[in-house]
Amino acid sequence: MSMRVLVACKRVIDYAVKVRVKPDKSGVVTEGVKHSMNPFDEIAVEEAVRMKESKVAGELIAVSCGPKQCQETLRTALAMGIDRAIHVEVSDADYANMQPFHVSKILAKVAQEEKADILLLGKQAIDDDCNQTGQMTAALLDWPQATFASAILKEGSDMLVTREVDGGLERIKVKVPAVITADLRLNEPRYATLPNIMKAKKKPLAKKPVSDFGVDLSPRHQVLSVEEPPVRKAGHKVETVEELVGKLKEAGVV
């Protein structure tokens, strides 16, 4: 029996973009900024595709929640080798308040509807760095979770996952259905080449309004302010050793 793998991907500001904070401190500037798939989700997509290539997985489904532009992210996933995609349509206004809690509720429902055996996702998104969606989805589904995976193997009917933990590596065995989140060293994602992007345009992409899922989208926490990290102060050049010692004494470090 081959497994059905559901991969969640988030559209985030591209990793190479210099992020700017809005003048009113309500968030970051997203208009006219290059977006792409969250790099950790890309790793999750790649892993799913490899699972299919090694015949561990049968069907691969990608899902993304957000405004219309998320479809580009899903197309990228399809170009990398996912079979079909589901776009959960969320309006811009609702999306601004959407938090991992809401996303995990939606993902849990999608995973059940699609009868997924494995839900794969990136360990965290590089925009909010929450690192919560996978864990919360596992809790809502009451599925085992294997987070920060750096290797995934199938062993009988279970999955053998190597996890990156502070002290080194931990190997755990989980029963399917399970939630697995991808860490950086899991694999090197392939590039979505132009011919594959063209082919991906023919793959099915289902659109579902978020209202179909009956999830309460009211925010559970409030963003008070978003600020730039403090700017590093310029240093001085000293001419002599005496001056250096003087400055250090002034600063109270010697």
Partner 1 sequence: MNSQRSQVIRLYKNLLHLGKDYPKGYDYFRERLRQSFRSNLQVTDVREIEMLIVKGEFVSKELEALYMLRKYRALKSRYYYNK
Binding site for partner 1 (CB under 8 A): 15-16, 39, 126, 184, 188-189, 191, 193-195, 197
User: What three-state secondary structure class fits 199?
Assistant: helix
Report yes or no: 245 and 126 within 8 Å, Cβ to Cβ: no
Radius of gyration for the alpha carbons in the chain, expressed in angstroms and rounded: 22
Report yes or no: 7 and 121 within 8 Å, Cβ to Cβ: yes
Minimum CB–partner distance for residue 223 and partner 1 (Å)? 21
Record the tokens describing residue 208, joined without a space.
Answer: 């579902």
Minimum CB–partner distance for residue 193 and partner 1 (Å)? 7
Minimum CB–partner distance for residue 140 and partner 1 (Å)? 26
In terms of CB distance, is 194 or 224 closer to partner 1?
A: 194
Report yes or no: 28 and 21 within 8 Å, Cβ to Cβ: yes
In terms of CB distance, is 188 or 212 closer to partner 1?
A: 188
Minimum CB–partner distance for residue 184 and partner 1 (Å)? 6
Nearest-angstrom CA–CA distance, 150 and 169:
9
Minimum CB–partner distance for residue 153 and partner 1 (Å)? 22
Question: Counting beta carbons within 10 angstroms of the beta carbon of residue 126, is it exposed (0 to 12), middle (13 to 18) or buried (19 or more)?
Answer: middle
In terms of CB distance, is 39 or 58 closer to partner 1?
A: 39
In terms of CB distance, is 118 or 125 closer to partner 1?
A: 125
Q: Report the Cα 141 to chain-centroid distance in Å.
A: 19
Minimum CB–partner distance for residue 39 and partner 1 (Å)? 6
In terms of CB distance, is 193 or 211 closer to partner 1?
A: 193
Q: 235: Cβ–Cβ under 8 A, 6 or more apart, which residues?
A: none
Report yes or no: 204 and 61 within 8 Å, Cβ to Cβ: no
In terms of CB distance, is 17 or 176 closer to partner 1?
A: 17
